[in-house]
């Protein structure tokens, strides 16, 4: 009988079962994401407040023929291919053109005008305190985008979230920074009034949320109870992308 079974369970097991049920209910609650959202903070003076904000036109409008992701294995375990495939899907979908990844050894070394480049470097754990890092730089007069991944750091969470899934979140998160997300209406600076570390999305449902306690709670509960992982941007970020594209298309 169910009642006898519960009585025979130790108090600790009962407590964890209750906590589990509560978290499962929390994961399913539609208001949960709102409850666990971070409060907005001001953005640096001069931040654009309307479409197209500071979103990255090159990666969002198909003005080059393809997006090429060049993968460099610098240190740590060999890169997992599934997260790179997920990044390719995100780049192709938001970039509205073909995208693919190749190992650095297979890259010709030429920077072609018809191609947008994203260089992904796997660095083990050489970036203290970060899962990943991204920036844009000029090489031989061409703008290229760079993502660095601390793949060792994802292993610390593998008991809760499969390593490949958290690595996917990191790649999509860093790609979101390269896209210029989030916009000021739904972003915050974790160190405000310092702008160190860049803007992140207030919504814990977004791959661009910062791994802070509330977002981690939401992410872990979603992963454990719903098998849902952060591999895309939230509704507000997607809406901003759509509005920026509409703006550019109205004013080519």
Nearer to Zn ion, 79 or 211 (CB): 211
Pick the piece of the chain touching Zn ion (CB under 5 A) from 41-49, 97-105, 155-163, 234-242.
234-242
We find the least distance from the C-beta atom of residue 132 to Zn ion, in angstroms, to be 7
Q: Which x/- pattern, by CB under 5 A, does the window 178-217 give for Zn ion?
A: -----------------------x-x--x-x---------
188-213 core/surface letters (b: 16 or more CB in 10 A; e: else): bbbeeeeeeebbbbbbbbbbbbbbee
Q: Nearest CA to 179 among 122, 94, 66?
A: 94
C-beta of 190: minimal distance to Zn ion in Å? 9
Choose between 42 and 103: whose C-beta lies nearer to Zn ion. Answer: 42
* Of residues 126, 109, 112, the one with CA closest to residue 73: 126
* Contacting range for Zn ion; rule: CB under 5 A; set: 38-46, 82-90, 154-162, 228-236: 228-236
Q: In terms of CB distance, is 104 or 126 closer to Zn ion?
A: 126
Answer yes or no whether residue 237 interacts with Zn ion by CB under 5 A. Answer: yes
Minimum CB separation of residue 173 from Zn ion in Å reads: 5
133 contacts Zn ion (rule: CB under 5 A)? no
Question: Whose Cβ is closer to Zn ion: residue 43's or residue 68's?
Answer: 43
Residue 234 interacting with Zn ion (CB under 5 A): yes
Count of residues that interact with Zn ion, criterion CB under 5 A: 7
Is the Cβ–Cβ distance between 63 and 57 less than 8 Å? Answer: yes
Taking the least distance from each CB to Zn ion, the nearer of 53 and 68 is 53
Please name which of 110, 129, 237, 124 lies closest in space to residue 180, comparing C-alpha atoms.
Answer: 237
Can residue 70 be called a binding residue for Zn ion (CB under 5 A)? no
Stretch that binds Zn ion, among 64-72, 75-83, 123-131, 226-234 (CB under 5 A): 226-234
- 230 touching Zn ion, by CB under 5 A: no
- Least distance from Zn ion to the Cβ atom of residue 20, Å: 28
Span of 32-40, 58-66, 94-102, 227-235 interacting with Zn ion by CB under 5 A: 227-235
Minimum distance, C-beta of residue 80 to Zn ion, in the bound complex (Å): 20
Which residues in this chain contact Zn ion in the complex, by CB under 5 A? 201, 203, 206, 208, 233-234, 237
């Amino acid at each position: 009988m169910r009642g006898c079974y519960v009585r025979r369970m130790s108090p600790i097991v009962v407590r964890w079962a209750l906590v589990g049920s509560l978290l499962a209910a929390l994961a399913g609650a539609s208001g949960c994401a709102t409850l666990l959202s971070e409060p907005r903070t001001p953005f640096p003076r001069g931040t654009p407040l309307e479409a197209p904000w500071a979103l990255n036109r090159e990666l969002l409008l198909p003005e080059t023929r393809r997006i090429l992701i060049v993968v460099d294995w610098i240190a740590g375990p060999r890169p997992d291919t599934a997260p790179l495939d997920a990044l390719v899907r995100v780049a192709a979908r938001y970039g509205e053109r073909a995208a693919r990844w190749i190992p650095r050894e297979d890259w010709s070394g030429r920077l072609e005008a018809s191609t947008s480049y994203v260089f992904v470097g796997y660095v083990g754990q050489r970036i203290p305190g970060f899962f990943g890092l991204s920036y844009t730089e000029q090489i031989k007069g061409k703008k290229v985008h760079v993502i660095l991944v601390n793949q060792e750091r994802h292993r610390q969470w593998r008991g809760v979230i499969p390593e490949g899934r958290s690595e996917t979140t990191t790649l999509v998160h860093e790609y979101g920074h390269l896209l210029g997300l989030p916009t000021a209406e739904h972003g915050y600076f974790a160190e405000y009034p310092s702008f160190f570390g860049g803007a992140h999305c207030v919504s814990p449902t977004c791959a661009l949320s910062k791994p802070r306690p509330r977002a981690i709670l939401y992410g872990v509960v979603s992963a454990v109870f719903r098998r849902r992982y952060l591999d895309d941007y939230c509704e507000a970020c997607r809406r901003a992308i759509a509005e920026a594209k509409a703006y550019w298309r109205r004013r080519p």
